[in-house]
């Protein structure tokens, strides 16, 4: 059968994402791996290609699958509507994080099946049944409309990651040189674990695995790494370093195998602070950048989100990374109720830490999180296009124009010119002009983001 898998683009009003970084569609490569040996499979990355109707016409698929985060819900539903007009008899399937958390949001005449959870084997079974003309009702991990209601089957939240086939990266061959994060280009992605043992209230990832931290065997990870051609590799884990013993084993196996890569991964500040020897091992085999969630500059704010770390952990983590020559990629959360003095304090905090860059995200109650349940009655919009971590979906204490001006000033004033220039030196010269154009384009849109709210009055 001919199967088309689509990585959707966000709506134009949504900020961030492909304007800042672009990772390979690893989830679709996994889904493809389950069926590509027996079927003709194509991956279409809509973030990089725009003429989807032409691709559908030429490939003439019998099944189309699309993955979705919350910010993609609206464009994905529109895509399926267009697809059913073009190909009324085609089987349409949606999966991904949002489909797993709230499958009800995809209850639509244009969507035949919703896949929940780890979808590789579920999707393979769907394809097999469709090819044979059989029904889907008893497949585990799906949802579908029946008599005007959504029917859901059970699915396993705890899975053996080693049983999942390696992603089929051959299907993104024409795109691979365009995947990147900052100077890391081209950038491959690999998953070594799933889930998180911690309980941050703004995150639903730990719920998807019932609070378990699922791990692939280090040997399997090394085997997959040997088949990756890119020099840069991003560990697309919910949290990569939390099991220090396992990560030491993996580092040693990578070293023994003679694999020469440059790595980027996620790490909690308390893990980094407590395990400088682990970070040194990884630095020695190519760890170049760590995404580290500092989140806030006050312990009471960290307690508010249930982070389980402290300001002391944050400072020690930055010190450890800096001493080892590993680039920290810190992220902070902006609370909608902040006043001018809170933004100013965060700017000073970043300067005092000597940061060359950081990402700033508005505290966003994503569906499926404890934070969402606590704040859903306060939401100023239910439009998922705004759930991009940059548009606030909760009321702000400052007028929106002032709030977004303060947000903009974080990027303009939280880092010294010297520190910013030192970071820019990491880019190849030919990448710098385009990088600057993208950055200032994003900052300009950020400063004017208050206009995206239809000129509503101050909240």
- CB atoms < 10 A from the CB of 373, how many? 12
Superfamily of domain 2-152: Cobalamin-binding domain (3.40.50.280)
pLDDT at position 211: 87
pLDDT at position 189: 98
* Distance (Å, whole) CA 405 – CA 450: 9
pTM of the predicted model, to two decimals? 0.95
Contact 240, 192 (CB under 8 A): yes
> What is the domain partition of the chain in residue ranges?
2-152, 335-459
How many angstroms from the chain centroid is the CA of residue 354?
27
Q: For residue 229, with 0-12 CB atoms within 10 Å meaning exposed, 13-18 middle and 19 or more buried, which class applies? A: exposed
Cα–Cα distances (Å) from 132 to 1, 64, 127, 140, 317, in that order, read: 11, 17, 9, 18, 55
Nearest residue to 17 (alpha-carbon basis) of 128, 140, 180 = 180
Q: Which backbone phi and psi does 197 adopt, to 5 degrees?
A: -80, -5
Helix (H, G, I), strand (E, B) or coil at 361: strand
How many angstroms from the chain centroid is the CA of residue 252?
28
Per-residue confidence in pLDDT tens, the chain, 459 aa? 999 999 999 999 999 888 789 999 999 999 999 999 999 999 999 999 999 999 999 999 999 999 999 999 999 999 999 999 999 999 999 999 999 999 999 999 999 999 999 999 999 999 999 999 999 999 999 999 998 889 999 998 889 999 999 999 999 999 999 999 999 999 999 999 999 988 899 998 888 888 899 999 999 999 999 999 999 999 999 999 999 999 999 999 999 999 999 999 999 999 999 999 999 999 999 999 999 999 999 999 999 999 999 999 999 999 999 999 999 999 999 999 999 999 999 999 999 999 999 999 999 999 999 999 999 999 999 999 999 999 999 999 999 999 999 999 999 999 988 888 888 889 999 999 999 999 999 999 999 999 999 744 333
Angle made by CA atoms 206, 210, 213, in degrees to the nearest 5 = 60
DSSP string covering 40-68:
EEEEEETTT---HHHHHHHH--SEEEEE-
* Distance (Å, whole) CA 394 – CA 337: 9
Contact 281, 293 (CB under 8 A): no
Six-digit token pair at 391? 């548009």
Sheet with 232-235, side-by-side order of all strands: 187-190, 232-235, 262-267, 287-295, 327-334, 359-362
């Amino acid at each position: 059968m001919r199967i088309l898998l689509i990585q959707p683009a966000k709506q134009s009003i949504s900020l961030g994402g492909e304007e800042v970084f672009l990772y390979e569609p690893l989830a679709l490569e996994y889904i493809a791996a389950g069926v590509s040996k027996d079927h003709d499979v194509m991956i279409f990355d809509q973030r990089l290609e725009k003429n989807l109707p032409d691709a559908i016409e030429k490939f003439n698929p019998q099944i189309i699958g699309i993955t979705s985060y919350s910010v993609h819900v609206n464009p994905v539903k529109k895509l399926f509507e267009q697809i059913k007009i073009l190909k009324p008899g085609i089987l349409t399937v949606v999966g991904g994080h949002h489909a797993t958390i709230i499958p009800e949001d995809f209850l639509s005449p244009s969507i035949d099946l919703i896949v929940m959870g780890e979808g590789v084997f579920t999707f393979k079974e769907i394809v097999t049944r469709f090819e044979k003309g059989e029904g889907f009702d008893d497949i585990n991990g799906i949802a579908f409309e029946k008599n005007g209601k959504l029917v859901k089957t059970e699915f396993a939240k705890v899975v053996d990651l080693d049983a999942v086939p390696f992603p089929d990266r051959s299907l993104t061959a024409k795109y691979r040189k365009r995947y990147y994060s900052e100077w890391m280009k081209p950038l491959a992605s690999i998953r070594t674990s799933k889930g998180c043992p911690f309980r941050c209230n703004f995150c639903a990832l730990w719920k998807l695995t019932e609070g378990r931290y699922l791990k692939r065997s280090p040997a399997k990870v090394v085997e997959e790494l040997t088949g990756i051609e890119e020099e840069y590799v991003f560990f697309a884990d919910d949290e990569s370093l939390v099991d220090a013993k396992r990560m030491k084993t993996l580092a040693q196996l990578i070293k023994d195998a003679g694999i020469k890569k440059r790595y980027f991964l996620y790490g909690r500040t308390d893990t980094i602070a407590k395990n400088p020897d682990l970070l040194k091992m990884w630095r020695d085999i190519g760890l170049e950048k760590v995404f580290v969630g500092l989140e806030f500059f006050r312990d009471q704010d960290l307690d508010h989100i249930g982070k389980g770390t402290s300001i002391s952990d944050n400072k020690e983590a930055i010190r450890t990374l800096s001493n080892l020559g590993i680039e920290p990629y810190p992220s902070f959360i902006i609370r909608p109720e902040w006043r001018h003095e809170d933004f100013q304090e965060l700017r000073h905090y970043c300067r005092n830490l000597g940061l060359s860059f950081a990402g700033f995200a508005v505290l966003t109650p994503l569906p499926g999180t404890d934070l969402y349940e606590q704040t859903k009655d306060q939401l100023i919009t239910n439009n998922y296009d705004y759930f991009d971590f940059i548009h606030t979906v909760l009321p702000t204490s400052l007028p929106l124009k002032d709030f977004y001006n303060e947000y903009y000033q974080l990027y303009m004033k939280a880092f010294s010119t010297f520190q910013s220039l030192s970071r820019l030196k990491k880019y190849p010269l030919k990448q710098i002009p385009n990088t600057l154009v993208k950055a200032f384009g994003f900052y300009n849109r950020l400063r004017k983001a208050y206009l995206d709210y239809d000129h509503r009055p101050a909240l």
